[in-house]
Amino acid sequence: MKLKIRNWVALLCSMWMSFAVSVLEGVGPIPDPLEVFGHDDKNDVIGTKWAILVAGSYGYGNYRHQADICHAYQVLKNGGLKDENIIVFMYDDIAHNPLNPNRGIIINKPNGTDVYKGVPKDYTGDATTAQNFYAVISGNRSAVSGGSGKVVHSGPNDTIFIFYADHGTVGYVSMPVGEDVFAIDFVAVLKKKHATKSYKKMVIYLEACESGSMFEGLLPKDINIYVTTASNKYKDSYAFYCPGLYPSPPVEYTVCLGDLYSISWLEDSDKNDRTKETLQQQYETVRRRTLVSNINVSSPVMQYGDTKLGNDFLATYIGATPNLYENTFSFEPSTTQTTLISQRDANLLHLWLELEKAPKGSEEKLKAQRKLDDEIAQREHVDNVFNLIGDFLFGEKKNSMMFHVRPYGQPLVDDWDCFKTLIKTYESQCGTLSSYGRKYTRVFASMCNVGISREQLKVASMQACLNKNHAS
């Protein structure tokens, strides 16, 4: 085990590469709301701007997702949106976490200001469920369980903005509690919302690994919804402002403060005039910055749905910026960062740093060592399990069959019930998929697409998962 730990630590150390970016400090004040920039045509009726912000994870190691969401709230508030029209989902276990070096404060960039202040606590803890998320979008107050009860009571002239930050995986994103948000179910809710004629236009920004799989081949182009995602349906997305990289968090932090795609659009929104910048211009900026910073591991930002909405100004959805922030970190193409931390490896980095920080010989040191050992063992376990399942089900064709990629424009899978069933079948035998284990979710889609049955997977999983003590 000591040798294996050294190998994992060596991998982490190899990811620690410094790079140069321009640094400007400070944050401007949040100004009074403006109502004037509510449309992109002078003949349009000015509707209400609604927003839903969702952090799909929990735990201090996932600090960055709630930080992204809190920063998004400040962007919207600065743009003039009212709290009654901003609905926030976050587990809310970061700001006051014992591991947080600045208790009660969340930052989204090195030495940044507190983005947690003032954020509405609409759906926290046990109320952070997919069912509540769907009910909020639908405006169905009676379907909400717990939380503030706020829903999107939008009308035909209103706009809706949704920002979702999570680890993600092929075909779904997580909620902290209960069922996951599967692509087919999410898109069905959006289609139903359109059918009720209860919005004019909608914009969705999604931060997650393989996030394109949530929309590709599923989201119609004629329901007035424009989407950008952190990646396509094949690639990971990446954490940013991580310890050991430049710019790095203050030394007392053992977590990444944000995600590359998220902070790119957030900081772009902070510093530019949203009455003059379009969605398409922001997409190009975020795509360029993401690709430049991600030069060795390619995480292509994507567009889906009604891309004609890209001609709309940002102010139409997230409000105007009367007092521009002049102090955001620059991600201009001249930057040369060559290594990033995958969403799935950010928690491993956090655990290793907690071990390094703990006093030698202390109980804290022993606990940190056990957590890191467990994480490494769990990763090795799930790698071995899927390797065995591949042997049982596919034999020599394992590699080509297990990770088959469908052509561009096609959905991940045709039979989504099969996809869900196979995931549940696997988890019943091998334990709940962890954020790391979800890197193998594509395997279940491939099984459905080639006709592997529930019974076949159950037998293979039973044979592969001899030790159920490890979550997968």
The DSSP result for 194-226, as a single string, is HHTT--SEEEEEEESTTGGGGTTTTS-SSSSEE
d(CA 180, CA 57): 11
89, containing H or E segment: strand 86-89
Catalytic residue among 167, 350, 381, 470: 167
Q: Are 162 and 133 in contact (CB under 8 A)?
A: no
- Is there a catalytic annotation at residue 13? no
Cβ neighbours of residue 94 under 8 Å, at least 6 residues apart? 60, 62, 63, 66, 67, 100, 106
User: For residues 260 and 197, what is the distance between their CA atoms, to the nearest angstrom?
Assistant: 34
Active site residue 430: no
Give how far Cα 467 sits from Cα of 36, 160, 337, 400, Å: 61, 46, 41, 27
Question: Coil, helix or strand for 305?
Answer: strand
In the set 65, 70, 71, 209, the catalytic residue is: 209
Question: Which residues are within 8 A (CB) of 44 and not within 5 positions of it... i.e. 6 or more apart?
Answer: 157
Do 413 and 420 contact (CB within 8 A), yes or no?
A: no
Helix %, strand %, coil % for the chain, to 5?
40, 10, 50
Residue 223 near residue 308, CB atoms below 8 Å: no
Q: Which residues are catalytic?
A: 167, 209
